[in-house]
């Protein structure tokens, strides 16, 4: 018999998309933090239970969501951030796909509590497994938004089985918060786990934030780097060759404020250190590249941690030279010994 073609229901589409957007609790943390930042938050509190597997609650003091629009926030492909394809080409916000909250809501019990400066109280919406429960209702809370995600994958047991231990998931969540916190030292962050504060980074400058997150070892060995060439500019800190590590676990790179993993940049870093580091030793770096948004595509993958440069070769050459230059002028003599 010939099979029948039928359009899938919206919730199912979101659940399928959730496979890409919501890989694990850390992906929820990333999406919700990015929304808080796009909303102009100055202080963000992250509360996790059991590594985020049981609960992820993120409170911001951003501009909130108008209660008349609250139901749209959890609708697939609904966004306040772009309106046209040309907006996408020069997008400045971290989000723009309008699918994160819908995806998260389709595989968890999600509530949004939000209040704008014009409201005299907060409003709340509850969505369980993609189904809205009741109406948008009055609630209490200060200006800003709290997104509360409970029981991730409660309705997709096969995916729930892929969750690792709370310790492992917590580690991934913390990695995400560290990356985002490094990109925005002007925002204060507090992280709670199972009812206890585990990290608190107050708003400050980039040096303070780098010290808070990368610690003493990097503080003692870091060289400041600043370089501009045409549409490219690179700023940040790199470690002297004397303070290398066995793993590349302290390398943070950002493109236009977004944490990314990019082969071009990673290769440029490795090449620049090639002559000064032993074998597999890895430098520590916090590098922030600014580039004309027209020359980079961030819409490569739903998680947006990959980018595509229009002129990868030029970016490689620029990053490589900037690091090499900083190492030779600021790094003192070139030493082949390394310690950790
Ligand atoms: P995107 O960020 O790609 O637009 P999301 O699904 O992450 O899509 O969010 C949908 C919409 O909900 C956003 O465009 C924004 O208008 C609103 N929103 C989400 N989180 C917040 C927040 N913390 N503060 C204010 N508005 C928010
Ligand atoms: Mg978003």
User: What's the pLDDT at 228?
Assistant: 96
Q: Which CATH class is domain 10-201?
A: alpha beta
Question: Which part of the chain has CATH 3.30.565.10?
Answer: 10-201
Q: Is 44 in the pocket of ligand 1 (CB under 6 A)?
A: no
> How far apart (Å, rounded) are the C-alpha atoms in residues 129 and 106?
4
Neighbours of ion ligand 2 (CB under 5 A): 35, 95, 100
Q: How many residues does the chain have?
A: 340
First to last CA, the chain: 67
Backbone φ and ψ of 162, nearest 5°: -80, -10
Closest residue CA from atom 21 of ligand 1? 35
Contact 218, 265 (CB under 8 A): no
Q: Is 107 in the pocket of ligand 1 (CB under 6 A)?
A: no
Q: Answer yes or no: is the ipTM higher than 0.90.
A: yes
Closest residue CA from atom 23 of ligand 1? 36
Q: Is 60 in the pocket of ligand 1 (CB under 6 A)?
A: yes
How confident is the model over 249-268, as a mean pLDDT?
Answer: 94
Please name the fold of domain 216-330.
Ribosomal Protein S5; domain 2 (3.30.230)
Contact 148, 57 (CB under 8 A): yes
Strand positions, DSSP E, 275-327: 285-291, 296-297, 308-309
pLDDT digits (tens, 9 = 90+) for 63-103: 999 999 999 999 999 999 999 988 888 788 898 889 999 99
Q: Is 96 in the pocket of ligand 1 (CB under 6 A)?
A: yes
Closest residue CA from atom 14 of ligand 1? 79
- Please check the confidence at residue 27 and state whether its pLDDT lies above 70: yes
Structure token digits, residue 188: 């204060």
Question: Which part of the chain has CATH 3.30.230.10?
Answer: 216-330
Residue 97 Cα to ligand 2 midpoint, Å, equals 7
pTM, two decimal places: 0.92
């Amino acid at each position: 018999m010939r099979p029948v073609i039928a359009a899938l229901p919206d919730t199912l589409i979101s659940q399928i998309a959730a496979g890409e957007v919501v890989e694990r609790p850390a992906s929820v943390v990333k999406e919700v933090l990015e929304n808080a930042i796009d909303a102009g938050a100055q202080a963000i509190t992250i509360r996790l239970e059991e590594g985020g597997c049981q609960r992820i609650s993120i409170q911001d003091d951003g501009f909130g969501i108008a209660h008349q629009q609250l139901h749209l926030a959890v609708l697939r492909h609904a966004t306040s951030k772009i309106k046209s394809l040309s907006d996408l080409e020069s997008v400045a916000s971290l989000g723009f796909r309008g699918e994160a909250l819908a995806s998260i809501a389709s595989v968890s019990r999600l509530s949004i509590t939000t209040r704008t400066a014009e409201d005299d109280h907060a409003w709340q919406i509850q969505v369980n497994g993609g189904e809205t429960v009741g109406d948008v209702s009055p609630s209490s809370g200060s200006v800003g938004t709290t997104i509360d995600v409970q029981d991730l994958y409660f309705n997709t047991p096969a995916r729930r089985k892929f969750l690792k231990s709370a310790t492992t998931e917590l580690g991934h969540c913390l990695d995400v918060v560290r990356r985002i916190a490094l990109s925005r030292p002007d925002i204060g962050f507090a992280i709670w786990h199972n009812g206890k504060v585990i990290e608190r980074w107050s708003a400050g400058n980039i040096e303070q934030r780098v010290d808070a997150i990368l610690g003493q070892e990097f503080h003692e060995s870091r060289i400041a780097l600043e370089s501009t060439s045409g549409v490219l500019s690179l700023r940040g800190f790199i470690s002297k060759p004397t303070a290398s590590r066995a793993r590349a676990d302290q390398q943070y790179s950002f493109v236009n404020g977004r944490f990314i993993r990019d082969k071009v940049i990673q290769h440029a870093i490795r090449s620049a250190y090639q002559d000064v580091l032993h074998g597999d030793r890895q430098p520590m770096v916090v590098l922030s590249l600014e580039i004309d948004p027209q020359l980079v595509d961030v819409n490569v993958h739903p998680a947006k941690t990959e980018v595509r440069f229009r002129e990868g070769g030029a970016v490689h050459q620029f990053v490589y030279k900037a690091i090499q230059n900083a190492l030779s002028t600021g790094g003192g003599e070139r030493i082949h010994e390394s310690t950790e």
